[in-house]
Chain A
């Protein structure tokens, strides 16, 4: 099984991508999408990405909901900051326990997609993540928030 389908999740996402972009559910497109999904998964084997097994899909769904709410809330907050024209920017250093590359990539997407926080640097040796915050009240509270709200579920999903 693993030989024929090295990256099942990738193949399924490629099939979904193919069907969405063709806007069709006809058997022909499904067959073509499945073939493309398998072919590109084989191509990925040569790139040797880090293999991760995802689990805990319930946690993943909750994480997506949390992120959606946070992105919405911080959009409004950043609009307020820009229109008022004053803010207290600052850097926050967070000790991150995540090791998995894909989990870190997800964390980067979350932090960047949320306006008001920008991922600046991740040091692999010390595993310290440096983010810049547009309107910083309490660095410690924010670090705890990111750890509990994003890092813990990501750890559960990926490790």
Chain B
């Protein structure tokens, strides 16, 4: 941690702003997990952390180490790319599971299948 004091002031200010903004966005996303009422609403909250939060914090990291080591640093971009590529997998899985359960329970909240074939427990076994 001590070598961080070598960071000149002109770099420290944007790094702090980016880091604080990124953490604040991620925090709001986590608060959203509590405040939003439905499961589908809660699907949206963590996306704040995985989009803007990740980008801002990775940018801060890139600037810090580029200035400290005096060279261009790009490999944090990979973190952003892989997070963007992999979040849909988990979110879709959770969304599909919730939708399937709600349709079997004949919940009023979710729209029915367009083709008219609603999944029922007996159909699911086939």
Note all chain B residues with C-beta closer than 8 A to A83.
28
Residue in contact with B96 in the complex, picked from A72, A79, A120, A126, CB distance below 8 Å: A120
Note all chain B residues with C-beta closer than 8 A to A130.
99, 111
Complexed CA–CA distance, A83 and B32 (Å): 8
Note all chain A residues with C-beta closer than 8 A to B32.
78, 82
Note all chain A residues with C-beta closer than 8 A to B75.
20-21, 23
Note all chain B residues with C-beta closer than 8 A to A85.
35
User: Binary interface profile of A, 100-138, with partner B (CB < 8 Å = 1, else 0)?
Assistant: 000001001101111111111101011010101010000
Note all chain B residues with C-beta closer than 8 A to A132.
40, 43-44, 95
Question: B11 at the A/B interface (Cβ < 8 Å)?
Answer: no
Is the CB–CB distance between A79 and B48 below 8 Å? yes
Main SS of the interface on chain B?
A: helix
Question: A63 at the A/B interface (Cβ < 8 Å)?
Answer: no
Question: B17 at the A/B interface (Cβ < 8 Å)?
Answer: no
Contact A112-B40, Cβ < 8 Å, known A72-B52, A125-B115: no
Nearest-CB residue, chain B, relative to A20: B75
Question: A91 at the A/B interface (Cβ < 8 Å)?
Answer: yes
Is the CB–CB distance between B41 and A119 below 8 Å? no
- B: residues with CB less than 8 A from A are 25, 28-29, 31-32, 35-36, 38, 40-41, 43-45, 47-48, 50-52, 73-75, 77-78, 84-85, 87-88, 91-92, 95-96, 99, 110-111, 113-115
Count residues of A near B (Cβ-Cβ below 8 Å): 37
Note all chain B residues with C-beta closer than 8 A to A93.
111, 114
Distance (whole angstroms) from the CB of A29 to the closest CB of chain B: 13
Distance (whole angstroms) from the CB of B90 to the closest CB of chain A: 9
Is the CB–CB distance between A118 and B51 below 8 Å? no
Distance (whole angstroms) from the CB of A142 to the closest CB of chain B: 14
Note all chain A residues with C-beta closer than 8 A to B88.
105, 108-109, 111-113, 119
Is the CB–CB distance between B110 and A91 below 8 Å? yes
Complexed CA–CA distance, A21 and B75 (Å): 6
Residue in contact with A82 in the complex, picked from B35, B85, B113, CB distance below 8 Å: B35
Question: A97 at the A/B interface (Cβ < 8 Å)?
Answer: no
Complexed CA–CA distance, A82 and B29 (Å): 8
Nearest-CB residue, chain B, relative to A95: B114
Distance (whole angstroms) from the CB of A49 to the closest CB of chain B: 15
Is the CB–CB distance between B51 and A114 below 8 Å? yes
Is the CB–CB distance between A108 and B92 below 8 Å? yes
Is the CB–CB distance between A91 and B111 below 8 Å? yes
Give 7 nearest A-B pairs by CB, closest first: A82-B32, A112-B88, A115-B47, A75-B52, A120-B95, A118-B43, A134-B44
